Chains A and B, each alone.
Chain A
Amino acid sequence: MDNFTNETMDTRQLPQFETVAFESLQAKYAWVVFANLMVRIVLLVLAPLVLSRIKPELFDSQLWMILAVVLPVLVLFMSLISYIGFKKKGFAFRNHDVLFRNGIIATNTIVIPYNRVQHLALHEGILSRYFGLATIEIFTAGGSSSDIVIPGIAKEQAENIKQLLMGKIQKQL
């Protein structure tokens, strides 16, 4: 018990990850998200149209009615998910670790200490490149569930972050 009280005294002064101010993704990245969403919506709407051309006998008026109700709801739902997903993503680089927050229903916060980072990757999608954005992927030894993928960072900032992280990794050794 003595040990415990001692511990709480000590740890209360520790930096708290939950109070960190998260930096949100670049506003331009919203366009990338939007474009991806559009592609999906177009595909979703096109699929029944194409199918009705190929197999008209499958589509009676009842099915069209159902589709007319379901599709807008689905589209709205998808847009909402994309929007919230974009809004809730955030990242923060502290002195000793990197934090990433995401999630739509649940709020997940993943923290990777720099001395556990294995390596880094910088991706540029074709659309992201047009907007001057990049995606940073941070790998640990904990398998894919513990890797962080931060999309929508300005290219220069991403490069800087990469340099910073590489420096941190080096210093740990």
Chain B
Amino acid sequence: MFADTLQKIARALWPILVIWIFKFDELNKVYFFSGAIAVFLGIALVAYLKYRNFTFYIDAENEELILQEGIFNKTNTAISLSKIQQVNINQSLVQRMIGVYGLEVDTAGSTKKEGVIKAISHALALALKARLMEVEKKGITDDMNAITADLMSEEERPFIKISLLSLLKVGITSNYIRSIGLILAFFITLYENGMNFLEQSDFDKQELDSYVNQSFAMTTIALLLAFFLLLVLVFNVIRIVLKYYNFKISKQNESLLLSFGLFNTKSTIIKPERVQITTVSQNYFQKKMNILELKIKQASSGEKEERKAVIDIPACNKIESNAILMLLFDKLAVKGLMLKPNYRKLVFALFLSIVLPLSGFLGFGYFVAPSILEFMPFVPVYVIFVGSIAYFGFRNYRLFVNDDFIIKQSGAWDIANEMIVPEKIQAITSSQLFWHKSADIGSITIHTAGGNLSFQLGDFTRIKHYMNLWLYEIETSDSNWM
């Protein structure tokens, strides 16, 4: 154990040592050395104190792992053994040099590793790991990190295959907002450049003349726009086909096996019990073509895995999606009672998206740079465009609640339905601005292991009512959320 201390100090000092060596020939002063030594000693002291104050033990009676650390600010962490998801033993370069191992204990959910024990011997690490995992009889951890290369099992029988045609459909219809945004940005920069160019070259000509030039420029730009739109569509199609080519979903003992990709085939496993939020989204065109997009968020531990935990099924029709949902939930999602947002939601959205930017624009135009007022003709277009987005966004913003599902519908163009099952709720937050008290409106955020779902400015009495109901359901049942 005493050697361990030395090792720990050495470990702590390592970066300083490096800097010291680097700077050695730069500064060759006496007080530099003394300073270095002081820093050296200070760090050694801190490292030693840290070492002295770090203890861990397993409370056999309560079945928990207790970690105590900190010199001045003390932290005492208790991790219930049964909640431990993963125990990792690893060894960094420095740790290898001094022959110790690091042990990380991970429970579900929060972003950082909850328990980190640095520098223990290998035997101890193994023993600890064995002891920590002992409680875990269910063996969830053995294929915790879902992705396996083992795709070629005999039992594979794809029950959904996404054809090239549906992928093409998706490519044409999805990512509209992004494409439009891209085009708009492109258009505006082009227009600005054109204006600059015109102003420079035809500076002495009459305004009318430049106006003619402007309209001429606008037609060219319109052509360019059409071309660009086409380009984006083609790009979109190619991207989606490359990514999702030969998308297959097959069933393998209770879980779904997905594989896709043209050049590099990816494969993922979805376990129904780990699914937290399922999103079905569809826009107007997709509705006409009978395709929809499915997004499945699984319980994740840590930020790094978050992206991996979102699984996209880009295109399937109603029947296929129902089949998948059946597999995940054992029943079909039915939209229950509807909760509408208050009209203030729309007012606020309009205020944010129209009033604020416009007043900024006008203010800037009048007081700072009058030249931008030339964009005035675009203001009505902007108002109508953004206003309709806000309006449809508001109209589609709904929360549906029934016994088995909580479904939140949102989106102006791509209408998304996020579904969660009440058992998956981890915590619920209600929130109310003080000036909304008399209007009895407020917001709710439902936290799950796969992300949050929030509904703003709804009838607060009903929200509280649902909260009580869900809490009751969670607290009375022993349901497994993962």
Contact = CB atoms under 8 A, between A and B. Distances in A.
A140 B429 CA distance: 13
A22 to B, nearest CB: 13
A129 B402 CA distance: 48
Chain B interface residue number, banded: 35 or more
Contact of B434 (A17, A106, A109, A170): A106
Chain A interface residue number, banded: 35 or more
B475 A115 contact: yes
B471 A144 contact: no
Interface stretch (B73-81, B279-287, B318-326, B374-382): B73-81
Contacts of A139: 107, 109-110, 114
Contact of A118 (B83, B403, B471): B83
Given A119-B114, A170-B62, A16 B464 contact: yes
Interface stretch (B33-41, B150-158, B225-233, B448-456): B448-456
B82 A173 contact: yes
Interface in B449-482: 449, 451-452, 464-465, 467-469, 471-472, 474-475, 478, 481-482
B246 to A, nearest CB: 34
Nearest to B433: A106
A14 B426 contact: no
Q: Is the interface of A mostly helix, strand, loop or mixed?
A: mixed
Contact of B481 (A125, A141, A144, A169): A141
Nearest to B429: A110
A94 to B, nearest CB: 9
A166 B78 contact: yes
B209 to A, nearest CB: 46
Nearest to A4: B337
- 4 tightest Cβ-Cβ pairs between the two chains A and B: A141-B109, A146-B447, A142-B447, A142-B426
Interface of B: 62-64, 70, 72-80, 82-83, 107-111, 114, 299, 301, 337, 402-403, 425-434, 445, 447-449, 451-452, 464-465, 467-469, 471-472, 474-475, 478, 481-482
28 contacts: A4-B337, A11-B469, A17-B471, A96-B471, A96-B475, A97-B471, A103-B431, A106-B433, A109-B429, A113-B471, A118-B83, A121-B78, A122-B76, A123-B74, A123-B76, A124-B75, A140-B109, A141-B109, A143-B109, A143-B451, A144-B111, A146-B427, A147-B110, A166-B62, A166-B78, A166-B80, A169-B83, A170-B80
